Amino acid sequence: MAGRGGGGGGGGADFASWVFRRGSVPVWWGVEIQGGGVGKAEIQIKTHKESTYHGTARYFRRLVREYFGVLPRLGAAAGERWAGPGGGEGPIVMVNLLRCAIERKGELMLSEHFQNGVRAARASVPGAQLRVLNFDWHANNKSLGMAGSIEGYWGTLAPVLRDAGINSGRWRPSAAPGASGALEQELDQVQVGVTRYNCADSLDRTNAAGFFVAVHAAIEQARALGLDLHQIRQPEKAGSAGSPDAPLPDGWEAKIDPGSGKVFYVDHNSKTTTWTRPAALAAAERPASASSRPASPEGAGPWGTMDLSVAEVKEGFSEAMLIALSELFQLNGDLHAMIYTGSRAMHSSSLFLLYPEDNKQKKGASGKAADLGITLKRRFLNVMSDGGRQQQFDIVLGVDIHKNFPTAFASGQQTYDTSVPDPESDAEDAQE
């Protein structure tokens, strides 16, 4: 995200960025359809010859190099640590969205192997802070509702994101002799941690989870550039006691009806509900013990909007920016899903949770019925075309060259040069 020109009279531009990653579970696993192609798809973990975590440590070493630039030699002295740009140490936090309930044995097993793989990798990535943060996306949505689940998700991730921060600074024309046209970078703050989001195959849940963090990251980047994407008026500046930005009375809670998307209010004192927002107590009448949170992100510090409710974030967010972000992630999800499954993304309706109520695109958003249709389409394509799609991937990646081009090597005159070292080879794994 770029902003106004930098100060100092020399031209240039301010910038802000936030880095995150999405991915699958980096162990050897796959899915097999039972019952002759029409049965249930079951997750299978490759355990032959201790190969489950083959390459997992190499994957995390590559992430450390990519995001933090400095990696000690394997076998570095005890206590020697790696550091990010500017000397800041930061973790790579894997946000695991897989099911963790025993009735979903496949995903539970995959989740356990994921965490075992991370534990095994730590010994081979000296000093790296590799962490797993579990958030059962489907179970939380089912028990708390979409809005309640998202608020819980924000609360879980807020400390991690605050510790990591964002990147911001400015680009200026270089003043060095002979450096005409070159730019120099000045950093005000440096992101010192990366969050990595995954479900099983880095598709539907992963895309939605990334979106609900990206809305807050956009606010932080804008603030670093002197812009304001989110505005919530302070309670003392509110209009009438029942206005949308006034605090609720003690014992009241705002919730979102999943059917209509409208906000309703629960009075825990009398155990009743109403669609009408109750009049708030004046500040002087509120009990001293009543909890309150800042109504403005500026008053709450970095990533302050993650402490707000879904309704408050939606109310204060720039409508144009919110729509643009939602559409971007919807398109991104569909593209990923189309490449790997041949269908659109599922669970896209959750991206419209923050949309304006009267938006036409939200009214036409797909729900459970559309997700069921996508599930059936994916199952059909799994049975009919997965083999051909996998072969196409192998050809592009140069995997099993002799198998995919048998006639080219049948005469023995053609050879495949394997002398060039593979940058993703297992050479480092041999030192583990």
| Co-location of 194 and 254 in the same domain | no
Residue 75 amino acid letter: G
What is the predicted pLDDT for the residue at 383? 63
Tokens of 70: 């400095």
265/421: higher pLDDT = 265
Domain containing residue 392: 318-419
Round the average pLDDT of the chain to a whole number and report it.
74
pTM of the entire structure? 0.70
| Co-location of 388 and 247 in the same domain | no
pLDDT bin (cut points 50, 70, 90) of residue 233 is: very low
CB 59 within 8 A of CB 235: no
DSSP 35: T
Residue located via tokens 């040069």: 417
| Co-location of 266 and 348 in the same domain | no
HSE-up of residue 101 (Cα within 13 Å, Cβ side):
9
Which secondary-structure segment (H or E) carries 205?
helix 204-224
Tokens of 213: 């963090």
Report, as an integer, the average pLDDT of 272-299. Answer: 49
| Co-location of 227 and 258 in the same domain | no
Domain-located, residue 332: yes
Domain-located, residue 182: yes
| CA distance linking residue 386 with residue 404, whole number of Å | 16
Question: Who's near 431: CB < 8 A, 6+ residues apart?
Answer: 74, 75
284: exposed, middle or buried (C-beta count within 10 Å: 0-12, 13-18, 19+)? exposed
Residue 19 amino acid letter: V
Maximum mean pLDDT: which of 32-36, 290-294, 313-317: 313-317
- Domain end, chosen from 212, 231, 250, is at 231
The answer on pLDDT for 373 being more than 70 is: no
Question: Who's near 228: CB < 8 A, 6+ residues apart?
Answer: 222
Closest Cα partner for 200 from 148, 138, 248, 263? Answer: 138
| Co-location of 41 and 176 in the same domain | yes
CB 422 within 8 A of CB 429: no
Segment among 150-164, 239-253, 281-295 with least mean pLDDT: 281-295
What is the predicted pLDDT for the residue at 358? 61
Domain-located, residue 424: no
| Residue 127, phi-psi category: left (phi > 0), alpha (psi -120 to 50), beta (remainder) | left
| Co-location of 36 and 168 in the same domain | yes
CATH number assigned to the domain comprising residue 261: 2.20.70.10
